[in-house]
């Protein structure tokens, strides 16, 4: 019985890694016909619908109407920071710079979470954190420059900056949502919903409102909004409840950015330079340094 449970947990973890690993590929295809603002507006729209439906199906429907005005005072800005702004910056980076490199750089949110948790959650600044952050930023620099500062492509720099800014945005959302206690499927519906309303209103005012028309556009927004951000998050929350050691669970997610690069190469033929692989290894390695040292300190 226990082996069956472990096998089922492992299967869900593998599905989650594949779901999130394919996300950048689906987004890259859909962005060929949609602007970053249009893509984000529709992906968050479908995400709101998917999270609402899944909340009802899992018996959490009452929570959708249980939030107070003070709760919504948190949900609205968190939505704009972690969904609207994050996705617009990420997709803008995809449009302005090579997608594999931009996708790796936005994973620096793992580094920025460590940094922001110190002042915002009063977590101690340890030697492990400093070492991990230093290694992680070294990895980001390697991705941007290929290891030589003089080699940074000026034409791609705006995209790289947007990717790093996306990392800051999602890190701030992660820390603040954890601090406020607002995370879960019902919250996810509002995180998507508020961003969708805000962005669709902005597009309508600017005369840029457009409905996804092709199969790739529709498939991309549905995959990002529903499969990746709703079903993926539901699997993650479920696995957190089932796992006795969340650190192991988190460690398995380090495979996601590597799977993402493989998918971009296999499905879209986008090459990934060796320095990008090395930079990603440093970013992930920096997080591992921090995690291992913190685990030892707790033990």
**Each residue of 197-223: pLDDT tens digit?**
999 999 999 999 999 999 999 999 999
Give alpha helix (H) positions in 181-214: 185-206
**Each residue of 25-63: pLDDT tens digit?**
999 999 999 999 999 999 999 999 999 999 999 999 999
Looking at residue 152, what is its pLDDT?
Answer: 63
pLDDT band at 153 (very low <50, low <70, confident <90, very high): low
Looking at residue 86, what is its pLDDT?
Answer: 97
Looking at residue 88, what is its pLDDT?
Answer: 97
Interatomic CA distance for residues 57 and 51, integer angstroms: 10
**pTM (2 d.p.):** 0.90
Query: Helix, strand or coil for residue 193?
Result: helix
**Each residue of 220-260: pLDDT tens digit?**
999 999 999 999 989 888 887 776 655 566 666 788 999 99
Query: Helix, strand or coil for residue 184?
Result: coil
In the chain, pLDDT over 70 holds for what percent of residues?
A: 88
User: Could you tell me the CA-to-CA distances from 77 to 108, 140, 160, 172, 194 in Å, in that order?
Assistant: 22, 28, 25, 11, 9
């Amino acid at each position: 019985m226990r082996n069956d449970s472990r096998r089922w947990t492992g299967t869900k973890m593998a599905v989650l890694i594949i779901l999130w690993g394919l996300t950048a590929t689906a987004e890259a295809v859909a962005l060929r016909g949609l602007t970053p603002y249009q893509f984000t507006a529709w992906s968050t729209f479908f995400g709101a619908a998917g999270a609402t439906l899944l909340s009802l199906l899992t018996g959490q429907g009452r929570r959708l109407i249980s939030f107070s005005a003070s709760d919504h005072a948190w949900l609205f800005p968190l939505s704009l920071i972690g969904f609207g702004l994050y996705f617009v910056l990420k997709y803008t980076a995809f449009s302005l710079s090579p997608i594999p490199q931009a996708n790796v750089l936005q994973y620096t949110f793992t580094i920025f979470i460590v940094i922001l948790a110190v002042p915002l959650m009063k977590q101690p600044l340890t030697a492990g954190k400093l070492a991990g952050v230093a290694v992680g930023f070294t990895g980001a620099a390697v991705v941007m420059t290929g290891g030589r500062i003089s080699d940074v492509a000026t034409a791609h720099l705006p995209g790289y900056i947007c990717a790093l800014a996306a990392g800051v945005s999602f890190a701030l959302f992660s820390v603040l949502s954890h601090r406020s206690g607002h995370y879960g499927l019902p919250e996810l519906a509002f995180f998507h919903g508020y961003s969708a309303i805000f962005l669709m209103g902005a597009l309508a005012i600017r005369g840029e409102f457009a409905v996804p028309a092709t199969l790739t556009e529709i498939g991309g927004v549905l995959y990002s909004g529903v499969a990746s951000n709703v079903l993926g998050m539901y699997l993650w929350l479920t696995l957190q409840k089932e796992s006795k050691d969340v650190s192991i669970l988190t460690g398995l997610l380090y495979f996601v950015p590597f799977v993402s690069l493989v998918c971009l190469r296999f499905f879209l033929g986008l090459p990934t330079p060796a320095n990008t692989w090395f930079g990603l290894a440093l970013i992930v390695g920096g997080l591992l340094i921090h995690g291992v040292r913190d685990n030892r300190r707790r033990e």
